[in-house]
């Protein structure tokens, strides 16, 4: 059986920066640390800086 592979995903809204607790860089750091501690194989990372309030979504 092959070992599962994972990806990292970090997102930060471009609106209301004062309400966002962690920057994308901080989120990715925490995710990488978790993956390292759990010995997870990370294939790729994804990040978004968009608002979910965009009309038409």
pLDDT for residue 50:
73
Summarised one tens digit per residue, pLDDT across range 4-31 is: 999 999 998 866 656 667 889 999 999 9
pLDDT for residue 22:
82
Q: Give the integer Cα–Cα distance in Å for 42 and 7.
A: 5
Compute CA 23 distance to the chain's CA centroid, rounded to the nearest angstrom: 10
Q: Which two tokens stand for residue 24?
A: 């994308």
Expressed in angstroms, the distance from the first to the final Cα of the chain is 39
């Amino acid at each position: 059986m092959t070992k599962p592979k994972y990806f990292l995903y970090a997102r930060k809204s471009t609106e209301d920066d004062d309400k966002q607790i962690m920057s994308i860089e901080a989120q990715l750091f925490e995710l990488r640390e978790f993956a390292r501690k759990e010995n997870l194989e990370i294939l790729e990372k994804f990040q978004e800086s968009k608002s979910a309030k965009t009309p038409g979504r």
